[in-house]
Amino acid sequence: MTSARLDLTVLPEALTGALPDWLPGQRWFAGKDRPVLGVRVRRLTPLLADDPTLVLAIVEVDQGTTPERYQLLLGARPELPDWLLPHRVCTWDGWDCYDASQDPELAAELLELIAAGREVEDLRFTPEPGVELSAGLRGRPVGAEQSNTSLVYGSQYILKLFRKLVPGENRDLTLHRALASAGCEHIAPPLGSISAPDGTLGLLQSFVEGAADGWAMATASVRDLMAEADLHADEVGGDFAGEAQRLGHAVAEVHADLRRAAESRLATAEELTALIEAMHRRLDTMLESVPELAEHAEALRKAFDAALAADEPVEVQHVHGDLHLGQCLRTVTGWVLIDFEGEPAAPAAERAKLRSPLRDVAGMLRSFDYAAHQRLVGHTDDHQLTVRALEWAQRNRTAFCAGYAEVAGDPREHAELLRALELDKAVYEVAYEHANRPEWLPIPLSSIARITSGEEPS
């Protein structure tokens, strides 16, 4: 027989027993490559004490290194309906405990709290200044996300719940606020937030309805080209170069808005030296685990050192930090950039550093290369399709840089640094593909070979 109201004091024991097995199965959990040694419950805040119950939890996960904190949104019902069974976490006080982000009824409560500007214990649910929100909307989860969980409310709002937590205000919220203050046209405006004393838990934004995903658009263009293998990229109906140029223009405008709204300066000689040294260290680490990289090591080191030897001034500022086609949405009015958290695997202090805008440019160049070659995975012996893929990638890389140059100067004028940053990103990709998708390893390895040999100009 279940209790009429749940006893929170028994929940920590249930969670610590269940979460070591449950967490690695979640898409947003960052530690899938390491065993979970233990889980400690740091916070339990009831947001709705009813049937169903809603609790916000913060847990600390031990995986043998520095413990990492994660946010869980937990629901509980006396008996789960069939559609919630796949999201069950544990049994708690006779009730079934589950991931409440999958429950539209409970997700609605978060929007209600933000709209009302409520405080629950020391949690703050806050609309942005001057924003009035419509409540009463149920939230449905976005299925494609990797490192966080986003809930869409009707066609109006999207709430991102940050799963892996960092101390202080999340840079996604910080940079969206800065860009909104600068009147940036290429973001979804921030509308509200959820915060605790030690960090940001959620970011509410306008929902960009009917937007097309940049990666989906680009790969559809490549698919059309491969289907017409006798034609060149500019002869196929799905040519993407015009959109690539407009995207380059949009990225440059975002960088310009960030320069106006936040800090920018010239990098010191010590910072540039540290940047190149970090590239060498990353390469050293990868050489220990990926033998296929060894034949490119000398050329990579020369490219890294050439960026330092160029001895040119490098402006640094806040940038996106993890820019690729999947972080870009095409709306009826133009391109919108999303997810300004930075590289998910990087420490928070690293993501907060000022960087050259060329880092974002390099990320986009790598993304065009991936879009061009992803259909060739397992078919690299098809010479004609390989030639077409290379042609598509270079055409769109060139168009993107041309669009960027319309606003902020041509990034190709800083060839050595741009090349080094792109190669550093490719080394990271080698590590990822080696660990997760070995069949994709030829994509970054072949790019490294082309760039270091001069066959693929930036």
**Minimal CA–CA distance to 438: which of 278, 290, 223?**
290
* CA quadruple 280, 284, 285, 291: dihedral, nearest 10: 130
Q: In what order do the strands lie in the sheet with 157-161?
A: 119-120, 123-127, 190-196, 199-206, 157-161, 149-153, 139-141
Omega before 52 within 30 of 0, i.e. cis = yes
- pLDDT score of 432 more than 70: yes
Residue 144: pLDDT over 80: no
Please provide the distance, in angstroms rounded to a whole number, between the alpha carbons at the two ends of the chain: 67
Q: Which helix (H) or strand (E) covers residue 280, if one does?
A: helix 269-289
* 163, amino acid identity: R
Q: Is the pLDDT of residue 3 over 70?
A: no
The identity of residue 257, as a single letter, is D
- The pLDDT, as a whole number, for residue 348 is 82
**Among all chains, which residue has been given the structure tokens 């890389």?**
397
Beta strands in 276-339 (DSSP E): 315-317, 328-330, 335-337
In this structure, what token pair is assigned to residue 350?
Answer: 């690293």
Average pLDDT of the segment spanning 362-371? 98
pLDDT tens column, 433-457: 998 889 999 999 999 999 999 866 5
Cα–Cα distance list, 351 to 150, 222, 343 (Å): 21, 32, 7
pLDDT of 455: 67
* Residue 169 C-alpha from the chain's centroid: 17
Buried b (16+ CB within 10 A) or exposed e, 91-124: ebbebbbbbbbbbeebbbbbbbbbbeeeeeeebb
* Average pLDDT value over all residues in the chain: 92
The letter for the amino acid at 443 is I
Average pLDDT over residues 211-232: 87
- pLDDT value for 147: 86
Q: Say if strands 335-337 and 328-330 run parallel, antiparallel, or are unpaired.
A: antiparallel
Closest to 104 in 3D by CA, of 142, 70, 131? 142
This model's pTM is above 0.85 = yes
- DSSP H helices in 145-268: 171-181, 214-227, 241-261
Inter-residue contact 449 to 292 (CB < 8 Å): no
pLDDT in tens, 166-197: 999 999 999 999 999 999 999 999 999 999 99
Alpha-carbon distances, residue 90 vs 1, 43, 77 (angstroms) = 17, 17, 11
Torsion of CA 297, 302, 306, 308, to 10 degrees: 60
Reported for 284-288, long-range contacts at CB under 8 A and 24+ positions apart, including other chains, are 285/431, 286/427, 286/430, 286/431
Whether 254 and 409 have beta carbons less than 8 Å apart is answered as no
pLDDT tens-digit readout, 272-301: 999 999 999 999 999 999 999 999 999 999
The answer to whether 190 touches 204, Cβ cutoff 8 Å, is yes
CB burial string 257-295: b at 16+ within 10 A, e below:
bbbebbeeeebeeebbeebbeebeebbeebbeebebbee
Contact status, residue 28 vs residue 163, Cβ threshold 8 Å? yes
Using pLDDT thresholds of 50, 70 and 90, give the confidence band for residue 1.
very low
391: left (phi over 0), alpha (psi -120 to 50) or beta: alpha
With tokens 């080209």, the residue in question is 225
With a CB cutoff of 8 Å and minimum separation 6, the contacts of 380 are: 386, 442, 446
Q: What is the mean pLDDT of residues 23-36?
A: 91
Residues 192 and 133 sit within 8 Å (Cβ to Cβ): yes
Cα 220 from chain centroid (whole Å): 21
As given in the structure block, the two tokens for residue 415 are 């060839």
Q: Are 364 and 427 in contact (CB under 8 A)?
A: no
